[in-house]
């Protein structure tokens, strides 16, 4: 997939990309149609001033070339003032055009950036487990920048330049003959053909630079996010070497891109120089033969300067458009990516009554083909606490992912109060389930905002009540800034037990009727474990609770304990009944108790 992606865009892909881009931009342009119309009017005024300048210069030169009387001097001064006015008008109207259209561009970037962000967040868990954060961020950044470039330069550079070429060719034809127009048209066609072919050839070098840039950024972000692991294994030099290798690829790609750009610029400069030389030679010959005045020579020269300057810029714009399309293509590929988990067309809102949860004949395997859950069935009555235990890899946490609909089972149904979860909306399902995860990752924000994240509209009083319910109040009293303490990236300024109690406070703030406790004490010391368990028991007493447990001592008072072995239920019952049964649970219990002793 990656290899195919880095190959040159097929003609079909290019044809499909522009309609997609127009489909997204058209509503924004229509919404801001008044600004767009005013910007186009300013553009026409600026171009009119630019086209007037050569005629004013011709009149000035011809006037200065003759005998100057009093009236002629006054006329010359008027022409000078008119020339200055035309220059000023060209500049001012161009600035006004950019100012008016800048708001439209910013609005487009805002809306499209938001669409991409929302779309990425909506994609399923499988996509996020395989994505590269650094490269993804760069792809989005380059894509939005490419759209900004296309909007600004296509509307205000390509179309106006083509209009100006047509006007100049027509003016020269009418005033000086077809041969002048022929030189312009031939040079423009040669310039365009060379630019298109050469730019298409070097587009692959632009893609190589983009890919190398994304990979080097991904490498850097991965290392920084996992800096603790880097330091644990003293692998700073190893990470630096890998980053250095990725920068080598980027540097080589940039070199190839630069050399291809040199070839393109040289060819374009040759065509422009040849055309200007031919035009000036023809104009000079016309003056020598008496067919033209000096003013005519100046006019033709000025038109050439005005014409080939934007034409040279047009080559740059075309190159950048191709580069922008390559960047936009990646972003649109991301937007075209659909989530495997989504709402059915007629999905309803989940209605909670008793809060009973039923797992019926569930089977599931991941993409690697390994069967993780096999024909699992059990029920959690409303208000009950049911624990699922088993060795690592038995499928315990997969049940949580299936309950949250991060994945759909291959067969079987999960129901809540008789409603299959695949028939209700994802939002309503997940809003009704609170979780205390095994690894509580926090945002680099204050404790208060991290707790409130479960329900952003929660009041300070509700946050304070959640802090007390999670037994966090004592800890918060002993830190200088209290709830306003910033917890650091991923919450690393807090201990494991403190992060878990923040997770419980989040669950309290969320106030959902269903509660999941996913091995939240497996990595805690005994004192932290007891504090977390105390808070959890108080919370679970008011909810239907599913507990994924590694330490059996934490779930001895559960209403039902389900024992999983290799994705299958081998036994279930209360703690006492399972010990009397002398099966897998009893063996696990003895092993853990012996280890603790």
Question: Residue 352 above 50 pLDDT?
Answer: yes
Extract the tokens encoding 67: 């005998």
Cβ neighbors of 301 (< 8 A, separation 6 or more) are 279, 280, 283
**pLDDT higher than threshold 60 for residue 102:** yes
CA 94 to chain CA mean position, Å: 32
Mean pLDDT of the chain: 79
- Higher per-residue pLDDT: 454 or 73: 454
Statement: residue 16 has pLDDT above 70:
no
Helices 294-336 and 133-153 meet at what angle, rounded to 10? 140
Res. 382: pLDDT tops 80: yes
What mean pLDDT is predicted for residues 584-596? Answer: 79
pLDDT computed for residue 47 by the predictor: 80
- Residue 377 confidence (pLDDT): 92
Instruction: Say whether 529 sits in a helix, a strand or coil.
Output: helix
CB contact set of 318 (below 8 Å; sequence gap of 6+): 158, 195, 196, 199
pLDDT exceeds 50 at position 5: no
pLDDT at 313: 65
Does 161 score more than 80 pLDDT? no
pLDDT in tens, 251-304: 888 888 888 888 878 888 888 888 888 888 888 888 888 787 888 888 887 787
pLDDT of residue 66: 60
Ordered by where they begin, the domains of the chain are 13-336 (1.20.1560.10), 346-432+513-597 (3.40.50.300), 444-511 (no CATH)
Q: What is the DSSP letter of 436?
A: E
- pLDDT(485) > 50: yes
pLDDT at 338 over 80: no
Give, in order, the Cα–Cα distances in Å from 427 to each of 355, 358, 387, 585: 17, 20, 25, 36
In this structure, how many other beta carbons lie within 10 angstroms of the beta carbon of residue 428?
A: 17
pLDDT attached to residue 9: 40
String of DSSP letters for 106-155: HHHHHHHHHHHHHHHHHS-HHHHHH--HHHHHHHHHHHHHHHHHHHHHII
Q: Which position has the higher pLDDT, 401 or 535? A: 401
Nearest Cα neighbor of 89 from 101, 78, 81 is: 81
Tokens representing 74 are 């006054």
Global confidence as pTM: 0.62
Q: What is the pLDDT of residue 10?
A: 40
């Amino acid at each position: 997939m990656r290899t195919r992606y880095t190959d040159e865009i097929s003609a079909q892909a290019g044809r499909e990309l522009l309609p997609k881009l127009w489909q997204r931009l058209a509503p924004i342009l229509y919404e801001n149609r008044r600004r767009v119309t005013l910007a186009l009017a300013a553009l026409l005024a600026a171009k009119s001033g630019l086209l007037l300048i050569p005629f004013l210069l011709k009149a000035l030169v011809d006037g200065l070339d003759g005998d100057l009387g009093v009236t002629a001097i006054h006329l010359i001064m008027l022409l000078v003032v008119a020339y200055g006015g035309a220059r000023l008008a060209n500049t001012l109207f161009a600035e006004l055009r950019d100012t008016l259209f800048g708001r439209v561009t910013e609005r487009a970037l805002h809306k499209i950036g938001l669409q991409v962000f929302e779309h990425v967040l909506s994609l399923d868990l499988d996509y996020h487990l395989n994505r590269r954060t650094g490269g993804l961020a760069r792809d989005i950044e380059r894509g939005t920048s490419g759209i900004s470039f296309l909007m600004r330069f296509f509307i205000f550079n390509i179309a106006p330049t083509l209009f100006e070429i047509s006007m100049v060719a027509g003016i020269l034809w009418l005033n000086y003959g077809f041969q002048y127009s022929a030189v312009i048209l031939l040079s423009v066609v040669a310039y365009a053909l060379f630019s298109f072919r050469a730019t298409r050839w070097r587009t692959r070098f632009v893609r190589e630079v983009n890919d190398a840039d994304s990979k080097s950024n991904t490498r850097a972000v991965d290392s920084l996010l996992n800096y603790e692991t880097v330091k644990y294994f003293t692998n700073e030099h190893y990470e630096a070497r890998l980053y250095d290798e990725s920068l080598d690829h980027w540097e080589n790609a940039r070199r190839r891109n630069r050399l291809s750009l040199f070839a393109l610029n040289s060819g374009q400069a040759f065509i422009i120089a040849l055309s200007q030389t031919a035009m000036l030679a023809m104009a000079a010959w016309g003056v020598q033969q008496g067919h033209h005045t000096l003013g005519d020579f100046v006019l033709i020269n000025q038109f050439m300067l005005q014409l080939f300057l934007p034409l040279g810029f047009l080559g740059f714009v075309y190159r950048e458009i191709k580069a922008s399309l390559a960047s936009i293509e990646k972003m649109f590929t991301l937007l075209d990516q659909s989530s495997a988990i989504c709402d059915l067309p007629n999905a309803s809102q989940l209605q909670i009554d008793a809060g009973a949860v039923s797992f019926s004949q569930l089977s599931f395997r991941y993409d690697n083909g390994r069967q993780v859950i096999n024909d699992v069935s059990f029920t959690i009555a409303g208000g009950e606490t049911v624990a699922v235990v088993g060795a690592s890899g038995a499928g315990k946490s997969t049940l949580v992912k299936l309950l949250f609909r991060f994945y759909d089972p291959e067969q079987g149904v999960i129901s809540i109060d008789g409603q299959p979860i695949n028939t209700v909306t994802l939002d309503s399902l997940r809003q009704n389930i609170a979780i205390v995860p095994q690894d509580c990752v926090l945002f680099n924000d204050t404790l208060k905002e991290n707790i409130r994240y479960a329900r952003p509209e929660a009041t300070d009083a509700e946050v304070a009540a959640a802090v007390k319910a999670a037994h966090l109040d004592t800890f918060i009293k002993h830190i200088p800034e209290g709830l306003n303490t910033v917890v650091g990236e991923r919450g690393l300024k807090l201990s494991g037990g403190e992060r878990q109690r923040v997770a419980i406070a989040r669950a309290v703030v969320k106030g959902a009727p269903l509660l999941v406790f996913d091995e939240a004490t497996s990595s805690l010391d005994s004192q932290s474990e007891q504090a977390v368990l105390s808070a959890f028991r108080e919370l679970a007493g008011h909810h239907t609770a599913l507990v994924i447990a590694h330490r059996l001592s934490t779930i001895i008072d559960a209403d039902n304990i389900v024992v999983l072995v290799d994705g299958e239920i081998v036994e279930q019952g209360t703690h006492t009944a399972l010990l009397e049964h002398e099966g897998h649970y009893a063996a696990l219990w003895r092993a853990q108790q012996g280890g603790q002793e």
